[in-house]
Structure 1
């Protein structure tokens, strides 16, 4: 405000002074015009100085100006100086981030909103084969062409990482993790997990081989024990109890070996047959009957079918998964409980639910229930003959069917295990079956 007041007084002095001079000379109009012209000339001169400074010498000190122009030059210079300092700090931060990424052993790749390559570190060049600057601006799927990665990248659901072989070395296994940020930009990170992958493969091979080798001696032991128990009247009484316990424990070991072999097969068998439509109503009815035989009337097994849709997949694997859920519900709920087996539509797909009204499970255990050999109550699980592998088998069967397991349970409120299948796995029932169902 101070500068604008001075500027108005400067204009008044020029106009009044030159107007008075013109009046003395007998031409007051020319005097006023000369005053205004001089004022405009001074402003144009300062404007030209500003233009020259900003376009030709922006890093020099600002030109000297009078009045409001002097204040404007000073403010522009201070703003320019602040901007340079901010840019220097940002450049330093970017340089430090890039240096930090360069020091990482993991591959780091920055993509723009279209999925094109913007920047990557040297680890990405070694693991993924990117070349600077030739590949900059190319879409990432031009280099990572595996259908699994393309589907993962386009699905935009990056909650779980993706494990694949390196695109340039088949003996290197990489784990990809994509993060969205900014304006739909993406950060792709890849870790070399070859050692972990080899160790996991060794563990699987060891478990499969040991389980297979245990099968024969356990079969021999079971056969002899059955023979001795068939002749129980000829066995000394003090041995009969021991033989019975031996048979019980041998059966437990056989169940464990069978579950280990099944789990190993699910983990290692990458070949999948063409999925066939399964009559879920019939399958669940058979499982319900098996569960009823298992509980021998101690539980009520209910069946609730809400849809006649079929499920595309492997019937043997699906029978194993759902049976594990139902048999667990029977084993770990008190007599008199009700176990409900349900098939219904769920969101865009469908779901198989196994619900009981038993004692329930503390939510603290839910994230680990599908781990191998994890038990909520070790003593009760052993007494009920469980192997601790049932839910791990369920998890792997569902993964092979593009599905997942949701668990909802609280102490005293029962438990609900929901197998959720996507729409791609749900198939409309054949016309003849719908006609029979409607008749």
Structure 2
């Protein structure tokens, strides 16, 4: 009720009381019983008011969904206002129910599973596709915790970690030959909306791609090895009498070696993609590994005059594959040497804190435009679209780094400013750090 309506009601009530009192006064003057007439008039008005209040109370308790009772005077206006509110509420409920019905109809038509989960992790509602993809049953599973029904350890870890910035792809709990893509979005006070999509076809296509790359790489490795061998033999036997022939052989050898490097990276990437996470059995001494890489980087820099510094602090023992980690660290370091201008500065750092172990390569090179950063770890993605052979490389280095880190529970963080340099950081969780023998 707004202020204008309230003022109108007060005026109406005062007017009715005024006329009632006036009538009682006139009747009292005519009969000579002014006090009794006033008392009788006010008593009758009080009885009428109490009767209307009792009718109102009875209606609220027993028939609140029906129209309010009829009355005259101020109570009639009250009941009319309530009746109009009821009609507006009914219309609003009808519109809301129509929207809900349309939403439920649209979600029922979806092929993707939609599941509503409350703040405790219990299932509240799901569409029919969730019953097919996840095996949920209504109403038996309503109120059950989601991890009681989807028990894959990878999903349990993903759900309980509560970091839903990335999605999860695992086999279906109903049929392991099917692959499901889980994505969770927060909404409301702690509630979550989970959308599950069948990506079996995409997984099969991705597996076909990996198999194709691996098979082609294996098939090309032998003829390339033979070709490189014969080129080396021809160059060794060349007496230099035909400079044009010697230059052609040297160029052929350079391109064949680039092809071999590409095949090696493709085979390594294929093995990283097809393998599971690295077991925490082998221990890699980061300190000795980085010292060796620093020497290799200085040799690679040679006359380019880079200043290459190495800083190490904290625990340097890391659970993981020495070959894979060495490959990831060397890719980051050699990229910095390759793309930093002559005389530039390159710094390697390893440190430990409460979050785990961290390796970082930073330089003051030309930097990378921000629009390129999200795609740097894609296969064959090059910032330089011309693919200038002067810088070499296969375009697979950062893809290899990303997959190595994934296999070691780590992640890659890239910061770069055009004209000021770049910083590539590898972060490993604390459980990947190993204790030195004899320490506790």
Flag whether TM exceeds 0.5 (same fold). Answer: yes
1:325 to 332, 344, 354: 332
Determine the structure 2 residue equivalent to 1:307. Answer: 314
Determine the structure 2 residue equivalent to 1:367. Answer: 374
Determine the structure 2 residue equivalent to 1:107. Answer: 113
8 Å CA contact 1:164–1:175 kept in 2: the answer is yes
Deviation at 1:135, TM superposition (A): 1.3
C-alpha distance after superposition, 1:217-246 (max 9, x if no partner): 111122222222222228754421121111
C-alpha distance after superposition, 1:136-181 (max 9, x if no partner): 1111111110011011111111111100111001111000000110
Change (3 A) 1:223 1:249: same
Farther off after superposition, 253-262 or 212-221: 212-221
1:97 to 103, 116, 124: 103
8 Å CA contact 1:346–1:420 kept in 2: the answer is no
Determine the structure 2 residue equivalent to 1:118. Answer: 124
C-alpha distance after superposition, 1:284-314 (max 9, x if no partner): 1111111122222422221122334433322
8 Å CA contact 2:150–2:173 kept in 1: the answer is yes
1:198 to 188, 201, 204: 204
2:75 to 69, 78, 90: 69
Determine the structure 2 residue equivalent to 1:242. Answer: 248
Determine the structure 2 residue equivalent to 1:166. Answer: 172
Deviation at 1:34, TM superposition (A): 3.5
Determine the structure 1 residue equivalent to 2:84. Answer: 78
8 Å CA contact 1:107–1:189 kept in 2: the answer is yes
Determine the structure 1 residue equivalent to 2:3. Answer: none
Deviation at 1:322, TM superposition (A): 0.6
Q: Please state if 1:178 is matched with 2:184.
A: yes
1:391 to 394, 398, 401: 398
Q: Which runs of 4+ in 1 moved over 6 A?
A: 19-29
Change (3 A) 1:43 1:306: same
Within 5 Å, which residues of 2 pair with 1:16-415? 32-233=38-239, 236-270=242-276, 272-298=278-304, 299-345=306-352, 348-379=355-386, 381-415=388-422
Change (3 A) 1:219 1:371: same
3-state SS of 2:361 partner: strand
C-alpha distance after superposition, 1:236-287 (max 9, x if no partner): 5442112111111111111011100000000001153224443222111111
3-state SS of 2:389 partner: helix
3-state SS of 2:280 partner: coil
8 Å CA contact 1:16–1:32 kept in 2: the answer is no
8 Å CA contact 1:11–1:39 kept in 2: the answer is no
Once residues 118 and 385 of structure 1 are traced to their aligned partners in structure 2, the CA distance between those partners, rounded to angstroms, is 56
Deviation at 1:21, TM superposition (A): 6.7
C-alpha distance after superposition, 1:409-438 (max 9, x if no partner): 122211111112223333455567x9xxxx
C-alpha distance after superposition, 1:108-137 (max 9, x if no partner): 111122121111111111111111112111
Once residues 370 and 336 of structure 2 are traced to their aligned partners in structure 1, the CA distance between those partners, rounded to angstroms, is 17
Farther off after superposition, 47-56 or 363-372: 47-56
Change (3 A) 1:340 1:39: same
Q: Please state if 1:425 is matched with 2:439.
A: no
Once residues 2 and 81 of structure 1 are traced to their aligned partners in structure 2, the CA distance between those partners, rounded to angstroms, is 22
TM-score, normalised to structure 1, is 0.91
State how many pairs are aligned. 433
C-alpha distance after superposition, 1:191-236 (max 9, x if no partner): 1110000000000011111111111111112222222222222875
* Structure 2, unaligned runs of 5 or more: 1-6
Change (3 A) 1:69 1:428: farther
Root-mean-square deviation (Å): 2.5
Once residues 3 and 377 of structure 1 are traced to their aligned partners in structure 2, the CA distance between those partners, rounded to angstroms, is 78
Deviation at 1:8, TM superposition (A): 4.0
3-state SS of 2:239 partner: helix
